[in-house]
Structure 1
């Protein structure tokens, strides 16, 4: 029976098979690349800092791949569960007839689980070749993003194949559990009556999960507004994205019609527009199935990108407030009457050894007196006044690594090996680029920039023109520091955004195609009532595009709730609201969704209206 159902209704299950195949391919390729990053093979001749950078890239790649695996599993379960929830509704009459001829509830559950197992096996078989190609593609992508070196290769690992196969079948089975339980609750007379009230959209469990997630989201938003610092706001924002997306996707049969009344105010004045408006408001199940993936997509992507962008802007705002200089000049600057303070800082590679670890990093050679005159950042332990001779100060990037005041470190600067005493430990900041500070006498060569404080009575623009070369205001320099940090997140986010976008497209197209199978009689009735085929297709198109607008709007509500905590955290920390709203990303998602959903809706409506209306109304399928 399971095999026959999959064979006869393959159009309904195609989206679930694609989702499982993508999940298997991504998990297999990600695990295979992760296995290769576990033990980096480094060629001889590399310096210590080059080895450290490569290891950091390997660690970042492994983190990104782990996020990819978790996202792929989550979205696969989401699409499979949505597919089977929809098919149970469409097959109520079939399932009721099975109950009439003696099928028990356990039999129905077993049949649906059998269908899920078949889909899992089929998706796994398709996904394994995808995983082989995905391993090559992911390796090249990570190399292009700069996380992995050009010589990186991922050898074949059979363990990744076995794990991916287990994930493929298990995600299909997990995704169908709720639908199988719901199918077993169908009674023959209730289903055969075909009354709308006999087919509730909001089940008890859907109410439970939706309201629970909504309540948790509201609580998180309240806590986020009361958060005393930015870090707490960022952590709360990540939780709000997930819980808010789950809440609105579960409550979409309620939220979509309610929000749908807003575009309904515009969609009026013609028969086609009125029919489309009515379908959005009353075809709750179909509208919710289309909008739910978009809610999750927009809520997660816009929320994440807004959080990353806000963090980058916060780095710039933090540096702007911590630096009291007026200009930043690339290179050394000679003293002059129009310069009150010139604080040069030279960056050089450094290797710092302790009993328990070795750190390959960079040190900044500074004049402690001038540096303190151009910065508001004060040590939390010790004093920069002692930074002379064979000494070192622990910067914000290493502040939490357990260094102790007055301890002695062995450092290699260039080719010199020196013993340095820790004289100061600075507090942590969002910008973790500054790891160590040493006296400038220890940095004979390196990359130098000078922070300038213009003398009273001197014009800043005139001074900048006189200095020539690379001259920036502190605001421009601080913004550049923030963008530099954001550039490291852009590649990671692009990978996750592409992955989520593909899954959302599969879910939305799957929902529209599945709904079209039940709309043949509806379209035939509309044509028998006097509508032309073009008008029927237009109704389906306007309806779907309206649902896209609703889904994107609800997703933006989730993202706004998440970013509210970030805005509150920055206001409490810096005294101003620092927030990055990704308008371009929202426009890109909206445009892409309109194109994909519009094309799918028009295509399925055109296919469903090819037959003569009288042939569909002559008898029940």
Structure 2
């Protein structure tokens, strides 16, 4: 059987080249994305930066731990605690470090001069600060008088020292000035033995050594966030790659088997059993799968090295050399081919010996019951998923990860049901061609309807290409619009002042804004199900009392009840629930401004515009528009992968379909058709197939975006749907041009052969 399968593949190379390329590219993508995912997940954290030159660091508690029904639950504190005064007094030889926000043309931190060198920085020019109005910085000119904004306000300082660059922009003050600006001691740097330090402090503070010193670095949370974002984007890309591989391979393999009905009928007539026919198809699939998956997997590391910069955080420099992505890719590629051949082999085994004698231009039943069940089941799953989101959790619709699976399900359903939809859709598409094109349009539309399986096979890659692009780009723009709508002022305000950068509004500026209401980002911890401690985004606002809270509906805390929570510094609080926030609110809770601790306000709401004192890091907010984000960038990368994949699939499907038209072309020549007329028929038939794919893609996009709009209607109210016509037009036009060019190239030879064997005219 293997020998027969190998001979068949050699004789019908064109029928298998599409499957081979699709499998090879899919395996390469899955191997590459698997390596990138492993790189993102397993990359070691950055080595300690802020305290890279000292062996032992003492810091205040960084973790909140609460008792639960299963022992205890912990989470990192949003508001780290300082080192207790008695611990500081116990180590007179320690370097006392204070780290506080300082805005000097950009976001940075202020530190005492004695902390210089803890992160490897050194004095490069000038001298150490000696007076309260002197500083040392990494960028600037000696003698310049510059403004620096700290928590207390804006003060001008003289630059007396230039230091080398460090891991974080820093302004170095005298030790006394740093203590006055920021009384809390954030860390003690020691050269003693860690065991000796622990024996002195007990459980009053924590001792950090080795890699644990990185827990105090400023990049700790951003690195974790970048890692999670990258893993999410790569996971989505991997899911799309697997989806498109299965979709395209199944469609291509089914079409290849459908082309060989006469061949299977002749084998049956010579005594082959249905089981032998099925085993032959499986053997062909296995041979193609093994070679294609091996080729694709071998190319995986090369491809991973070229796409990793689009996904992996910049601080990760080494690509993973793990073997599991390669083995997984190889196994998945082989499994995809066998799954794609499963239904096709079952149909091949049902071919009857006499079918070769009565094969006509009109295909037999193109939609078996199993395909109907599977297609309608996938469509039903998509519709139920949309309904569950719209009814149960409409706020989740603003997350791209929520609607991407729905789009894939809709496209898969359309692809499965495509053969049944070809004929009615082809009639509608061809109606416009029959009149202006006369007999040419009539023949092309009739051929497209009669060869429903061939038409569906050509339309499938178009459906994936245009459908995914239209649905994902339009839905992404809609969710961005929803996020902007949700970012509206929570209270009436004539003007809004926002902090430029992450340092927040300093106290001097706060005092300079009369009658303003302020909002400060913070965190609140809740215990879910008496087992999980959840850190939730919250805002500390001036219009909520310090003993009260407003919550979103998902917390299930009715107005008038008591919320038992932990605040940003880990202190427990019992807060009165005085109101419910709307669905989709940017924060889960609103607490009183007194619960913001050391965090600065980032937004001020004013009843009228007033001048902002110069030098402060603040500006009036204009109407906000959605900007680029990491997830949106990842979305474009995913689409680029999918578009390249399906473009190759479209080309190969058209090349596979070309030989089927040779007999049709000879018949048309015998009827007196010119070469140019035959070529126009071929091009129009391909154009109809592409148009069917575009129509089905538009239907998928309409359903996906429409359901998203209806879901967001409950969260934000009516939203404007902005269709990105330019990229969609370019993608659609490129797909049409690619299809017509391939049809022109692949159809020229069969037309020439038909002309050689038919009447001349």
| Fold shared by both chains (TM-score > 0.5) | yes
- The equivalent position to 2:606 in structure 1, one of 443, 449, 452, is 452
In the TM superposition, 1:510-521 aligns within 5 A as 510-521=652-663
Q: Confirm or deny: 8 A CA contact 1:40 1:58 kept in the other structure.
A: no
Contact 1:190–1:198, Cα closer than 8 Å, also in 2? no
Q: Mapping of 1:43-122 within 5 angstroms? A: 43-45=47-49, 47-122=216-291
Distance 1:360 1:181 in 2: 53
Q: Report the Cα distance in structure 1 between the residues aligned to 2:397 and 2:520, rounded to whole angstroms.
A: 35
Distance in 2 separating the partners of 1:129 and 1:353: 48
One of 389, 411, 417 as aligned partner of 1:245: 411
Alpha-carbon offset, residue 25 of structure 1: 1.2
Q: Note the C-alpha offset of 1:186.
A: 0.8
State whether residues 191 and 198 of structure 1, in contact with CA within 8 Å, keep that contact through their aligned partners in structure 2.
no
Residue 419 of structure 1 deviates from its aligned partner by 5.3
Structure 1's 301 and 171: CA in aligned 2 closer, same or farther, altered over 3 A?
A: same
Check 1:81–1:536 CA distance in 2 against 1; reply closer, same or farther (3 A cut): same
| C-alpha spacing 1:225/1:50, structure 2 compared with 1 (3 Å) | closer
2:517 is aligned to: 343
| Deviation per residue, 1:109-135 (Å, 9 max, x gap) | 111111111111111222123201122
Equivalent positions of 1:272-421 (< 5 A) are 272-320=440-488, 322-331=490-499, 341-345=515-519, 366=541, 368-369=542-543, 384-386=545-547, 405=563, 411=569, 421=573
Paired position in structure 2 for 1:20: 23
Cα distance in 1 between the residues matched to 2:553 and 2:380? 38
From the two aligned structures, give the one with the greater strand fraction: 2
Q: TM-score, normalised by structure 1?
A: 0.79
The answer as to whether partners of 1:287 and 1:547 remain within 8 angstroms in 2 is yes
Q: Mark the CA change 1:174 to 1:362 in structure 2 (over 3 Å): closer, same or farther.
A: closer
Q: Secondary structure at the match of 2:546?
A: helix
Correspondence 1:201 to 2:366? yes
Cα deviation 1:34-91 (Å, max 9, x = unaligned): 2233333122115445222212222222233233333222322222222222222221
Q: Quick one: structure 1 residues 209 and 445, their matched pair in 2 at CA, closer, same or farther if it must change by over 3 Å?
A: closer
Say whether the 8 Å CA contact 1:49–1:351 is kept in structure 2: no
Structure 2 gaps of 5+ residues are 50-213, 500-504, 557-561
Instruction: Return the alpha-carbon distance in structure 2 between the equivalents of residues 7 and 594 of structure 1.
Output: 31
8 A Cα contact 2:493 2:605, kept in partner: yes
Using the size of structure 2 for normalisation, the TM-score is 0.66
Pick the structure with more helix per residue: 1
Indicate if the aligned counterparts of 1:520 and 1:616 stay in contact, CA closer than 8 A.
no
Aligned residues: 568
The offset of 1:141, in angstroms, is 1.3
Instruction: From 592, 595, 598, give the equivalent of 2:737.
Output: 595
2:333 to 168, 171, 177: 168
Relative distance call for 1:179 and 1:464 in structure 2 (3 A) is: farther
Give me the CA root mean square deviation. Answer: 4.0
Change (3 A) 1:491 1:28: same
Structure 1 position 180, deviation (Å): 0.7
* Match runs of 1:23-38 below 5 Å: 23-38=26-41
Structure 1 alignment gaps of length 5 or more = 373-383, 388-392, 412-417, 455-462
Q: Contact 2:36 / 2:308 at 8 angstroms: preserved in 1?
A: yes
Q: Is the 8 A contact 1:525 1:613 kept in 2?
A: no
Task: State the match for 1:181 in structure 2.
Answer: 346
2:715 to 573, 578, 585: 573
* Number of the residue aligned with 1:457: none
Partner residue, 2:436: 269
Separation in 1, partners of 2:532, 2:362: 68
Q: Distance in 2 between matches of 1:323 and 1:593?
A: 49
Q: Is the 8 A contact 1:394 1:436 kept in 2?
A: yes
Contact 1:309/1:580 (<8 A) preserved: yes
- How far did residue 182 of structure 1 move? 0.6
1:227 aligns with 2:394: no
Q: Pick the aligned partner of 2:671 from 523, 529, 551.
A: 529
User: 3-state SS of the aligned residue for 2:516?
Assistant: strand
- Secondary structure in 2 matching 1:608: helix
Per-residue deviation, residues 174-207 of structure 1 (Å, max 9, x unmatched): 1101111111111111233223567322223233
Q: Which residue of 2 aligns with 1:5?
A: 8
2 CA distance for matches of 1:351 and 1:321?
Answer: 21
User: What does residue 86 of structure 2 align with?
Assistant: none
Taking the aligned partners of 2:686 and 2:576, their CA distance within structure 1 comes to 62
Distance 1:232 1:346 in 2: 24
Q: CA deviation at 1:537?
A: 2.4
Would you say the 8 A contact 2:366–2:420 is kept in 1? no
Change (3 A) 1:108 1:346: same
